[in-house]
Amino acid sequence: MKKEYIRKSMWLRKRNIIDCRYGSDIDSKRNLKGGIKMKNKLFLISILVAVFFAASVVVSAAKPIVIKFSHVVAENTPKGQMANKFKALVDERLAGKVEVQVFPNSQLFGDNKVLEAMLLGDVHLAAPALSKFEKYTTKLMLFDLPFLFASMDAVEKYQKGPAGKSLLDSMKKKGLIGLRFLHNGLKQLSANSPLRVPADADGKKFRIMTSDVLAAQFHALNAIPLKKPFSEVFTLLQTKAIDGQENTWSNIYSKKFFEVQPYITETDHGIVDYLVCTSTEFWMGMPADIRAEVEKALNEAVDFGNGVSAKKAVEDRKKIVDSKRTKILTLTDAERQQWIKVMKPVWKKFEKKIGKENIDAAFASN
């Protein structure tokens, strides 16, 4: 696979160089002769390339299509279980034709690299949190707006509607296809000191995902947001390089953040939701019948993962409570209103980038 990729990228690079030279030859009459020679060379190269690809198709026809699925969370999370379910379904239905390889816990790529790797063909499926797509589209920033969705049911309702569905295609021009949204759950705030009201977060350092909306949310609290990969969060918390972080019950439990954070405030102020995505080149390169089977398995796995997410939100919260390693703070209505008042003005700042109609449609799903 690697060799094939290197050969392919070398070929692409060569083609670019040749294309550039070819363009400048046309501009200059003096180089007309050179242009004709170049045309002949190009013709020869295209034949060689065609032969090379035809040969590689013949060779690869016998081998199964490999789908590398890279993610950053543990296997006992909604995403981890969804990925494993997908592998099991494909193994059962497409044995010998498709092979799924799952790489959990940032083993293959961290969340700051996986989309680039996908565009290069080094990984084929991933499901990054919606906060991690800002380089590719500003539309998905919607899901980071604090206190936009009151529940995961509202998220589901919005994503199933026309406005939500259209977001799946928001990165097509960049070479990425969104296949399905996948849920994790509502976010809580953990810290090394009790956070009851927004003023308690003043001056504290929080790890955030790579999202300008999340940065603005913490700036609104007069706190210091730090964009860091998920794989670094535990150590940053343990060494007290940061004071806190925001995440779902399942991530706080599976990555043991609760063991190094003495307080968790049950804010439900935002969501961690995912987009299962692939590269257009890889997806459309699969034979149509195989693609349809793979998509069917993926849809079933995502439905299964969403079921796991609903259960984990309750079960992992309970496990954290039972561990007695951390204190869970429940907000009064008046305290909660204070968080809403401070964080909600962030919406206005991103209204242009996200589109007011998208924000209104999302809010209406509550």
Binding residues vs ligand LMR (CB under 6 A) = 72-73, 79, 111, 129, 184, 209, 230, 247, 251, 272
CB under 8 Å to 209, separation ≥6 — which residues? Answer: 111, 129, 131, 132, 227, 230
Edge-to-edge order in the sheet of strand 205-208: 224-227, 205-208, 244-247, 188-191, 263-266, 327-330
Nearest to 255 by CA among 320, 201, 203, 171: 320
Nearer to ligand LMR, 272 or 342 (CB): 272
Helix (H) or strand (E) holding 273, with range, is: strand 271-279
Q: Report the residue number whose CB is nearest to ligand LMR.
A: 230
CB of 346 to ligand LMR, least distance (A): 18
CB 73 within 8 A of CB 79: yes
CB of 66 to ligand LMR, least distance (A): 23
What is the rounded CA–CA span in Å between residue 31 and residue 1? 40
Q: Which two tokens stand for residue 316?
A: 């992992």
Nearer to ligand LMR, 254 or 365 (CB): 254
Nearer to ligand LMR, 251 or 306 (CB): 251
CB of 79 to ligand LMR, least distance (A): 6
CB of 236 to ligand LMR, least distance (A): 12
DSSP state of 332: P
Nearer to ligand LMR, 25 or 112 (CB): 112
CB of 275 to ligand LMR, least distance (A): 11
Nearer to ligand LMR, 73 or 277 (CB): 73
